[in-house]
Each structure stands twice: as structure tokens, then as C-alpha cells.
Amino acid sequence: MSTLEAIVLGLVQGLTEFLPISSTGHILFVPAIAGWPDPGAAFSAVIQLGTMAAVLVYFRADLWRMAMAFVKSLGGDHPLWRSDDSDARIGWYIVLGTIPISIIGIVFKDQIETNVRTVSLVAVVMILFSFVLLAADLKGAQDRDVKQLTLRDGIIIGLFQALALIPGVSRSGSTISGGLFLGLNRESATRYSFLLSVPAVVLSGLFELRKVGDSTGASVGIAPTVIATVLAFGSGYFAISFLLRYVRTHNFAVFIVYRVAVGVLMLVLVAAGAVS
């Protein structure tokens, strides 16, 4: 792997992991367009640690506060999801919301990693889910805050997160859509999406580490792997910060248009034989 490939793939992994445009789709599309060989499962598993670190570092204060509140509420008189402390409740919802994607991901692991990872199918899914994000973004009365989430909300957004197992959907796109449909304002929906991603991204990264040592894919040296991982961390941290600021004054129209444009482009390239 060249240094250029490592730089590009590291930046793509970090940016698309958190923007609602599908990291799976871009990691599939970019090498296909550039004519680069598949870097292999081991490389992908390692650089995912960069994005995992980005979300942990960015939300370290929030996560620590929620963890402490969660522990303190264990001895309370009420169930955790009815705690008077909003941090404890949100912590509980995050744990609960991670269950669907964990179970479905393990049960359908082989199908997700092989059968549905084709350029054409992922491109179609990117286009179709754009309309789900559009419908959620156009929904009225988006005036709720994260602290107003209920147990029902936590379960529903967790189910939306499970949709991200379909390549091309986007984990952040699906959970943000779920939050918007439930009346969260754009910033709150985005913030909760990132907080909910913590256990999902961490568990996914640790699960993918089983592939380290896999001999498939291109020959990747230590230096390109380190470069890609560091850039995945940096671009992932930037993507989180950027999107939280952006949605305070903007809607998701630019991401919706981008998803449709990229999906259509890939279908045209496949039809023309430019991409296999």
C-alpha cells in the first residue's frame, strides 16, 4: 500500500464514520474508482480503532458523567430508566439501544460482510435511505432536547441504529433520522446519535480485531497502517465537531443531495463497466 492510499483511506474512514453518508459505501467505492486493491480485513480492523478513539476522546466528559450517574442510580428506589438524573437515564438508553444492533450484527454477520457488500446494492441503498433522512428532516415540531428522551424513544432509536447494518444506510444517518422522527431538534438528534455510537463503534472495533492477521487483501506495511489510523482519528474527531456545529443552523439537505449524487454516479459507472 502506498502512502497516498493510506492517507486517502484513513481520511475517508474518519469522515464518513460520523457524517450521515455511509462509511461502508465510501470504503467500498473509493478503492473501486481508484483501481486500488482491497487492503484486507486486518487493515480495516486496525484503522477502525482510530474512529473508535475519536468518539471516546471527544465525548470523554459526557461519558464519564453519565457513567458516574448510572452507577449511582443503581441503588435507587426507581428503575434506572425512571431515574431523576437525566444523565443516568440517557446512559441506560444508550445501553438498551445497543442491544438490537449487537444481536442482529452477530446473527447475520456473514450475510452483512459478504452477500450485500456489492457496489450496485450499496449505491441503491444510499439513494433510497436518502429519502428516509429527507422525510425525517422535514418533520415538524423538532423541539425536544436529549434530556427529554423516554424509554420508548431509546428503544426506537436503537432499532433505527440496527438499520445501519445494511451497507449504504449509515449508522449516524439512521440514528439521526430516528431522533428527528421522534421530535428531537437537529443538534440533539445528532448529539445523541454520537453518544449512542460509543458502545456500537467500540464493540464493532473490538469484534473486527479478530481479523488481524488475515492474509487476504493487499500487502500493507506498518507505516501505512499507522498513517491511516492516525488520520482516521483526526478526521473522525473533526467530523464530530463539524457536524454538531453545522446542524445548529443548517438542515441535512447537503448530505441528502450528496448521497443521491454519489449513488447515481456509482450506478452509472457500474453500468458503463468502469467499476466492477
pTM to 2 decimal places: 0.89
Q: What is the mean pLDDT of residues 181-187?
A: 94
Q: Which residue has the higher pLDDT, 66 or 259?
A: 259
Angle 159-210-203 (CA atoms, 0-180°, nearest 5)? 30
Q: What pLDDT is recorded for position 212?
A: 58
Residue 9 lies in a domain: yes
Give me the mean pLDDT over the 216-228 stretch.
73
pLDDT in tens, 49-85: 898 899 999 999 999 988 888 787 776 666 565 666 7
Burial class (CB in 10 A: 0-12, 13-18, 19+), 191: buried
Q: How confident is the model at residue 179 (pLDDT cuts 50, 70, 90)?
A: very high
What are 9-20's pLDDT values in tens digits?
999 999 998 999
151: burial class by Cβ within 10 Å (0-12, 13-18, 19+)? middle
| Residue 218 predicted with pLDDT over 60 | no
Confidence of residue 114 (pLDDT cuts 50, 70, 90): low
Neighbours of 10 (CB within 10 A): 26
Specify the pLDDT at position 246: 96
pLDDT of residue 83: 62
Question: Strand locations in 34-145, DSSP E?
Answer: none
Percent of the chain with pLDDT over 70: 87
Grid cell, residue 185, equals 431538534
Q: Would 204 be classed as within a structural domain?
A: yes
Q: Averaged over 123-127, what is the pLDDT?
A: 96
Tell whether the model's pLDDT for residue 27 goes beyond 80.
Answer: yes
Residue 216 in domain: yes
Please state the rounded mean pLDDT for residues 136-141.
85
Q: What is the per-residue pLDDT for 10?
A: 93
Residue 105 lies in a domain: yes
| Cα separation, 93 vs 275, whole angstroms | 42
pLDDT at 183 over 80: yes
What pLDDT does residue 220 have?
67
Say if residue 268's pLDDT is above 70.
Answer: yes
Q: Which domain holds residue 178?
A: 3-271
Q: Is the pLDDT of residue 224 over 90?
A: no
458516574: which residue's cell?
68
Task: Give domain status of residue 115, yes or no.
Answer: yes
Q: Does the pLDDT at position 243 exceed 90?
A: yes
Residue 84 φ/ψ, nearest 5 degrees: -70, -20
Structural domains counted in the chain: 1
Stretch 183-204: mean pLDDT, rounded? 89
Q: Is residue 276 part of a domain?
A: no
Q: Is the pLDDT of residue 216 over 60?
A: no
Q: What is the DSSP string of 155-194?
A: HHHHHHHHGGGSTTS-HHHHHHHHHHHTTB-HHHHHHHHH
